[in-house]
Structure 1
């Protein structure tokens, strides 16, 4: 099995990323469209990290930094490529990015019903903070 490479996504990757998320990610987001990903890349070109092997997309994570907090979204690994260290490598790259930017703590959005995701995040050293509840309001 060949190794995989990590890199930041570019605008040419948007369609492949959206197709990948439809197959490998749990749930959908209001921003899971071409315009949403394009805005992310325009605002922070290094935020969307990809893992690839021989040109095939195997994993993603969004490592967003707003100048105050470090946010992780869309950690996903293609089902047949799981348990090969790809998710861990993506998280290590995200943590390194955050440290270089001066971040102090990372948080992750994890769907309550996503048992596989919750297991993966716990294995990576993350835990829920029971005193917090995320409140949202769509802007459109």
Structure 2
């Protein structure tokens, strides 16, 4: 499969949403409003949009189809990797690895020395994928807190 990785463009929104809803079933759960993929895209476009990547298929009947994504961020101290997704028909062909390596290279070019990511504990296959790429569990506890956002501030 021939694929090009490039920076996300707003015209990619609907295709990315479709991919994410397929790759991340939790995005389909209305009881998890913090998993709003449209809001994730809007927020990323407001912060380091150059670190939002899409993989575009360049061959066959699906030329131009989005078959993968990766988002990254860098705060000057650590980098983060988010929303690495690969369409089912493009899995096990090295595309996930290419997306991760692309994001790693972009972060390294910014001076990033350490990259973090989080994986849901029930995603054993995803954990194994990252372990094959050299990622290891850090001796830390990941803490989180949901912050209330005024409805008028939320992008829909």
Choose the corresponding residue for 1:105, options 108, 111, 114: 114
Range with greater deviation from structure 2 (103-112 or 128-137): 128-137
- Aligned residue pair count: 139
Unaligned runs of 5+ in 1: none
Q: Which runs of 5+ in 2 are unaligned?
A: 58-62, 150-156
In structure 1, the residue matched to 2:153 is none
Q: Deviations over 1:77-126 (max 9, x none)?
A: 11121111101110111111111101011011111001121111111111
| C-alpha RMSD of the superposition | 1.7
- Is the 8 Å Cα contact of residues 31 and 37 (structure 1) preserved in structure 2? no
Equivalences for residues 4-83 of structure 1 within 5 A = 4-25=3-24, 27-28=26-27, 30-53=34-57, 54-83=63-92
Higher Cα Rg, which structure: 2
In 2 relative to 1, CA 75–81 (structure 1 residues): closer, same or farther, beyond 3 Å?
Answer: same
After superposition, what is the alpha-carbon deviation per residue over 1:43-89, rounded to whole angstroms, capped at 9, x for unaligned?
21212111110211111111111222100011111112111110111
Checking the alignment, whether the CA contact within 8 Å between 2:23 and 2:87 is kept in structure 1 is yes
TM-score by structure 2 length? 0.81
